[in-house]
């Protein structure tokens, strides 16, 4: 194991002159020769017997043992939480893959859907996805329409993967940030592409009264909504999943908004510099919002006089 680790670890890292180990690995001389070829100088793999270098290895072994203990404890705790999730939502077994969805936008502009994934090892960040909302028929701010698009795109791909024999990415549980309306929108979208509520376990999480954490309601297809005890560990876990999806969606939205501010049709208009562009985008939410504005509305923006307002209007309405 140590031999394999050393070779893999230094595959993309420059080897040092001296590598200290707590036991001599198999083929230590061959490993040292390989690392010397990579480094272009002598590399020594040594197991110290005494002195400060021995103390370093002892401390490293102690740190590794403590890290392993923490990892085992976290894994056991995660396993208990997932078992409780299975119990709460009547799953056949603890979920291996949970997908959580949320949307983010400002008055419909720069709309993004976010998906985060969690499992027995915690959050699976390499599986996170963002969905830039592309359907121009969706009204600005239509959360149901955005969620339908996200679900159609996500599960169309998942269906194709499963038909090709790769069902590993099919979720055991889908959590949606929202209430009954969001859940019904998801069901509608999935049924439209041939996925029934029996094919995937769907749950929506509605924020509590006054958006208070601990008072969330849970909705499932064909079931009455219910709440969990405010001090239940599984509720804290579900809140953490929901909050991570919210954080991811907001981050994706901010990145998209920043890119839109840097590259915009407004850049083509004479007299609209960075400050006026920011003011216009802040006031109307997007370049599309600016394009729909009347001259009088444009003049409400700080720094935009009548002549500039007419120039902006003319840019988007020429012909």
Predicted pLDDT of residue 96: 94
Domain 264-317 classified CATH 1.10.150.20? Answer: yes
Q: Where in the sequence of the chain do the CATH 3.30.420.340 domains occur?
A: 98-259
Q: Determine whether domain 98-259 maps to CATH 3.40.50.150.
A: no
What was the pLDDT predicted at 141? 73
pLDDT at position 282: 86
- The CATH 1.10.150.20 domain(s) of the chain lie at 264-317
CA dist 32 and 24 (Å) reads 12
pLDDT of residue 195: 92
Question: Between 16 and 168, whose confidence is greater?
Answer: 16
What b/e readout covers 148-173, taking b as 16+ CB neighbours within 10 angstroms?
A: bbbbbbbbbebbeeeeeeeeeebbbb
pLDDT value, residue 125: 92
Q: What's the full length of the chain, in residues? A: 319
245-299 pLDDT per residue, tens: 988 888 776 776 666 555 677 877 888 888 888 889 888 888 888 888 999 999 9
Place 116 in a pLDDT band, splitting at 50, 70 and 90. Answer: very high
What is the predicted pLDDT for the residue at 74?
Answer: 72
Any residues with CB less than 8 A from the CB of 259 and at least 6 apart, and which? none
Q: Categorize the per-residue pLDDT at 185 as very low, low, confident or very high, splitting at 50, 70 and 90.
A: very high
Mean pLDDT estimate for the chain: 87
310 vs 256: which has the higher pLDDT: 310
pLDDT at 269: 86
pLDDT the model gives residue 258? 64
Once rounded to an integer, what is the mean pLDDT over residues 213-226? 87
Contact 233, 81 (CB under 8 A): yes
Distance CA 201, CA 161 (A): 18
Tokens of residue 185, six digits = 């929108």
Q: How confident is the model at residue 232 (pLDDT cuts 50, 70, 90)?
A: confident
For helices 143-163 and 180-192, the axis angle rounded to 10 degrees is 40
The span from the CA of 315 to the CA of 319, in Å, is 10
pTM of the entire predicted model:
0.62
pLDDT at 265: 76
Q: What is the model's pLDDT at position 107?
A: 56
Q: What is the pLDDT of residues 42-82, one digit of tens each?
A: 999 999 999 999 999 999 999 988 888 877 777 778 889 99
Q: How confident is the model at residue 212 (pLDDT cuts 50, 70, 90)?
A: low
For residue 149, report the phi and psi dihedrals to the nearest 5 degrees: -65, -45
pLDDT of residue 220: 95
**Stronger pLDDT, 109 or 182, i.e. the higher one:** 182
Q: Is the pLDDT of residue 108 over 60?
A: no
Q: What is the pLDDT of residues 237-254, one digit of tens each?
A: 999 899 999 888 887 767
- End-to-end Cα separation, the chain, in angstroms: 72
pLDDT digits (tens, 9 = 90+) for 133-160: 777 787 777 888 888 999 999 999 999 9
Asked if the model's pLDDT at residue 213 lies above 80, the reply is: no
Q: What does the pLDDT read at residue 275?
A: 87
């Amino acid at each position: 194991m140590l031999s394999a680790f050393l070779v893999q670890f230094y595959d993309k890292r420059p080897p040092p002159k001296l590598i200290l180990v707590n036991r001599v690995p198999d083929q230590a001389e061959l490993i040292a020769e390989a690392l010397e070829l990579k480094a272009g100088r002598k590399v020594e793999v040594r197991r110290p017997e005494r002195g400060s270098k021995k103390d370093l290895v002892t401390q490293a072994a102690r740190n590794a043992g403590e890290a392993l203990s923490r990892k085992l404890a976290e894994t056991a705790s995660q396993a208990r939480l997932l078992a409780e999730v299975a119990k709460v939502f009547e799953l056949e077994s603890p979920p291996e893959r949970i997908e959580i969805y949320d949307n983010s936008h400002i008055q419909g502009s720069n709309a993004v859907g976010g998906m985060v994934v969690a499992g027995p090892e915690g959050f699976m960040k390499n599986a996170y996805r963002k969905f830039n909302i592309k359907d121009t028929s969706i009204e600005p701010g239509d959360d149901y329409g955005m969620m339908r698009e996200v679900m159609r795109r996500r599960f169309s791909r998942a269906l194709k993967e499963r038909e090709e024999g790769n069902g590993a990415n099919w979720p055991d549980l889908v959590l949606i940030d929202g209430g009954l309306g969001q859940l019904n929108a998801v069901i509608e979208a999935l049924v439209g592409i041939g996925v029934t509520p029996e094919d995937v376990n769907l749950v929506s999480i509605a924020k509590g009264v006054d958006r208070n954490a601990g008072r969330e309601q849970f909705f499932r297809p064909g079931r009455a909504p219910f709440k969990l005890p405010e001090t239940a560990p599984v509720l804290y876990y579900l809140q953490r999943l929901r909050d991570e999806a919210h954080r991811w969606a907001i981050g994706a939205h901010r990145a998209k908004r920043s890119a839109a501010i840097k590259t915009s049709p407004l850049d083509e208009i004479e007299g609209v510099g960075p400050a006026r562009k920011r003011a216009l985008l802040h006031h109307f939410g997007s370049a599309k919002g600016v394009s729909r504005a009347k001259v009088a509305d444009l003049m409400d923006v700080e720094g935009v006089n009548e002549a500039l307002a007419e120039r902006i209007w003319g840019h988007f309405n020429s012909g």
